[in-house]
Structure 1
Amino acid sequence: MVYETGNRTVDDAVERVVAGETLDRTDGLALVAQPVEDLAPAADYIRSEFGDDTVDACSIVNAKAGNCAEDCGFCAQSVHFDTGIENYGFLGPEKVLEAAKRAERDGAQRFGIVVAERGVSKAERPGEWAEVIEAIRLVRDECDLDVDASLGILTEEEAAILAEEGIEHYNHNIETSPRYFPEIVGTHDFADRVHTLEVARDAGMDLCAGVILGMGETPTDRVDAAIALQDIGVSSLPVNILNPVAGTELGGSESADITTEEILKTIAVYRLLHPHARVRLTGGREVNLAMDEQHLPFEAGADGILTGDYLTTEGQSPGDDIRIIEEAGLEPNMETNEFDAEAVKSASDEDSDLGTAAGSATSTASQTTDD
């Protein structure tokens, strides 16, 4: 026995994972019913066995905001909801590069170019497609960052081009379980999401796909989403927690329909089901976890973070994110972008108005590199 909590279900799962076995749905359902006090340290053990004791930071830019025709019930950018966000077309390659340089300065290792629409279509909007490709090239050539993308549905031709241009990860979240998905999205189905991920994977890109917790789903749904991601094959698994936005279908409360204990249990189970992936704590953590709780997911198996602002909402400072990582006994990853963590913390302390790593609508569309 390599690890013992005294909880037979948890200990058996840990032993099997260490031996190279992939846990299944039955295992996941049994694990999610166990006490978080047993799950969290077990998941942390698995993270340390398969990982490198670092937390990998990514950042995103909202490169095209609002007016999306899809009706995802959580999304402030859907044309179906009146949320008052700023709408704009593609920012242009230079603006995207500015956001990437902020991300590089603030310690991100990965930078994701995100658009709000069903898909960036090479055939229907060739001008926009050309700008996206130019933005990818600029970031790839001028920053020490891995370049990722989240551009909606893809054709095989588009996926092949993105892979050739050096996109490392393609992001396309599945959001929730196949069963619960129709409760959240009506304009496309779960199979559409999976197909896009398969097209990206077959073109040679790694996959970044995850979930949003606290949308009314059950613990079983959370496990089923993780199993679906096993079937797809992901190397980055972002775990968002709903940040209810007024005007959206799910915007009627101040926080997500999930407790801190449930968040930690879910992350721990995801680590056990996905021992080789980066389990990444992403949007909604500031709303649903107090500052003195935000280190806990990294003691329950998480080893990735999205730092800075989100697509339409503000995040906290990159310096605070580094402190959270260090409080959990881990270190920021510096494999791609070697940076000065102390300088990032000092800069955040000295200027609270400093542009954050990621690009929300406000920070990207209106800030300059000097902000």
Structure 2
Amino acid sequence: MVYETGNRTVDDAVERVLAGEVLDRRDGLALIAQPVEALAPAADHVRSEFGDDTVDACSIVNAKAGNCAEDCGFCAQSVHFDTGIDTYGLLDPEEILDAARRAERDGAQRFGIVVAEKGVSKERRPDEWDDVIRAIRLVRDETAVEVDASLGILTEEEAGILADEGINHYNHNIETSPRYFPEIVDTHSFEDRVATLEVAKDAGMDLCAGVILGMGESPTDRVDAAIALQDVGVSSLPVNVLNPVEGTAMGGMDSADISTEAILKTVAVYRLLHPHARVRLTGGREVNLAMDEQHLPFEAGADGILTGDYLTTGGQSAGDDIEIIERAGLEPNRDVNDFDPDAVKAASDDDATPEAPPETAAGTATSTASQPDDD
């Protein structure tokens, strides 16, 4: 059966993707210029043909917060900016395990251990490295979630150890296109980030790498970022939308420099350029999309979500996220952690009060770290 929207550019792209062809930069630029009314259902069709009509949920813990020497203009954890966030050293492995158990309770399929620094170094900080490895083992052995990590730049030796310890996905976002990257970061290069992804992939880990939309980039930059991720080869593509944090280089913006329509078009194009990846809606969605809009990306090709709090900003409850997924006509993935969605929704309703929102995996791992934020 031929899929038809009546838009020749979109219909041709869908036909080629379903036939196994990989779309290129020229295709991406042509597609992102098309109306969302044609792009969104076409991308949703491709998702349905290649996927399983589930949305995969991950959750993270901010395992080491603040004092990062890098100058990423969007990041509240950079030492270059005065943002007033709580800072702390690496959490005790048992605290990281507690956060993973909360993620498991909330229906996450995977759990990411994230640190704010250029790289966890086995050579320069061996005690910290040992604690990271112990935390990975605890989460791996005592929960049903898959263990992911975002530990910055890796050596080949470090990547090999992480792969041997069972790290499923290694996260290292490219943030934006190669052209626009120098506009947001000075202290390292786009090529540095790609090199780490290649080291992780060569060690045998799957890759989770994506972007932040709304930092002033153009639609062409959004396409070029997706093409760069094709070149690397990712199985999870997180799509963040900037949540400007006061004190950062981008903190003077009232909101992300992108419309709801442009977010949906970008998600749809990413699905068509990455038909087999989990296109994952992540940080900033709550502040850039109204509650009655948050299901729309999942009708435009998205099939993954980051649930719970982010690195330095709060998220929303796992129950709310499940309702968003169901509103889009999909269901939560339960391949790894076979939880009861109705129980998660009920627990979220029971726990939530204006004074005390329900605990989520990140931001509540320790009393020292009151409410970590986004990336």
- TM-score range (shorter-chain normalised) is over 0.9
Report what 1:64 is aligned to: 64
Matched, 1:77 2:95: no
**Letter in structure 2 aligned against 1:292:** D
Report what 1:176 is aligned to: 176
In the alignment, the residues of structure 2 paired with residue 68 and residue 243 of structure 1 have an alpha-carbon distance, to the nearest angstrom, of 19
Deviation at residue 48 of structure 1 after TM alignment: 0.1
- Checking the alignment, whether the CA contact within 8 Å between 1:104 and 1:357 is kept in structure 2 is no
Deviation at residue 354 of structure 1 after TM alignment: 5.4
Rate the CA distance shift 1:355–1:135 in 2: closer, same or farther, 3 A.
farther
Report what 1:190 is aligned to: 190
Deviations 1:63-88 (A, max 9, x none): 00000000000000000000000000
**Letter in structure 2 aligned against 1:127:** D
- Checking the alignment, whether the CA contact within 8 Å between 1:181 and 1:190 is kept in structure 2 is yes
Gaps of 5+ in 2: 370-375
In the alignment, the residues of structure 2 paired with residue 197 and residue 216 of structure 1 have an alpha-carbon distance, to the nearest angstrom, of 25
Matched, 1:209 2:209: yes
Report what 2:288 is aligned to: 288
In percent, how many aligned pairs have the same letter? Answer: 81
Gaps of 5+ in 1: none
Alignment of 1:1-371 (within 5 A): 2-352=2-352, 353=356, 355-360=358-363, 363-366=364-367
- Checking the alignment, whether the CA contact within 8 Å between 1:176 and 1:221 is kept in structure 2 is yes
**Letter in structure 2 aligned against 1:213:** L
Deviation at residue 357 of structure 1 after TM alignment: 3.3
**Letter in structure 2 aligned against 1:12:** D
- Checking the alignment, whether the CA contact within 8 Å between 2:43 and 2:269 is kept in structure 1 is yes
Other structure's SS at 1:70 match: coil
In the alignment, the residues of structure 2 paired with residue 69 and residue 365 of structure 1 have an alpha-carbon distance, to the nearest angstrom, of 23
Other structure's SS at 1:292 match: coil
Deviations 1:124-178 (A, max 9, x none): 0000000000000000000000000000000000000000000000000000000
Deviation at residue 364 of structure 1 after TM alignment: 1.7
TM-score (norm 2): 0.97
- Checking the alignment, whether the CA contact within 8 Å between 2:88 and 2:368 is kept in structure 1 is no
Deviation at residue 355 of structure 1 after TM alignment: 4.2
- Checking the alignment, whether the CA contact within 8 Å between 1:235 and 1:277 is kept in structure 2 is yes
Deviations 1:47-76 (A, max 9, x none): 000000000000000000000000000000
Deviation at residue 307 of structure 1 after TM alignment: 0.1
Rate the CA distance shift 1:100–1:271 in 2: closer, same or farther, 3 A.
same
Deviation at residue 302 of structure 1 after TM alignment: 0.1
Deviations 1:283-303 (A, max 9, x none): 000000000000000000000
**Letter in structure 2 aligned against 1:315:** G
In the alignment, the residues of structure 1 paired with residue 359 and residue 340 of structure 2 have an alpha-carbon distance, to the nearest angstrom, of 16
Deviation at residue 356 of structure 1 after TM alignment: 3.5
**Letter in structure 2 aligned against 1:154:** L
Other structure's SS at 1:159 match: helix
Deviations 1:18-72 (A, max 9, x none): 0000000000000000000000000000000000000000000000000000000
- Checking the alignment, whether the CA contact within 8 Å between 1:73 and 1:248 is kept in structure 2 is yes
Aligned Cα root-mean-square deviation (Å): 1.0
Deviation at residue 366 of structure 1 after TM alignment: 1.6
**Letter in structure 1 aligned against 2:89:** G
Deviation at residue 358 of structure 1 after TM alignment: 2.6
- Checking the alignment, whether the CA contact within 8 Å between 1:103 and 1:356 is kept in structure 2 is no
In the alignment, the residues of structure 2 paired with residue 303 and residue 3 of structure 1 have an alpha-carbon distance, to the nearest angstrom, of 20
Deviations 1:174-215 (A, max 9, x none): 000000000000000000000000000000000000000000
- Checking the alignment, whether the CA contact within 8 Å between 2:32 and 2:219 is kept in structure 1 is yes
**Letter in structure 2 aligned against 1:294:** Q
In the alignment, the residues of structure 1 paired with residue 274 and residue 362 of structure 2 have an alpha-carbon distance, to the nearest angstrom, of 29
Deviation at residue 367 of structure 1 after TM alignment: 8.7
Other structure's SS at 2:129 match: helix
In the alignment, the residues of structure 1 paired with residue 223 and residue 89 of structure 2 have an alpha-carbon distance, to the nearest angstrom, of 37
Rate the CA distance shift 1:212–1:203 in 2: closer, same or farther, 3 A.
same
Deviation at residue 282 of structure 1 after TM alignment: 0.1
TM-score (norm 1): 0.98
In the alignment, the residues of structure 1 paired with residue 11 and residue 198 of structure 2 have an alpha-carbon distance, to the nearest angstrom, of 34
Other structure's SS at 1:12 match: helix
**Letter in structure 1 aligned against 2:292:** D
How many residue pairs get aligned? The number is 366
- Checking the alignment, whether the CA contact within 8 Å between 1:102 and 1:355 is kept in structure 2 is no
Other structure's SS at 1:291 match: coil
Deviation at residue 351 of structure 1 after TM alignment: 1.2
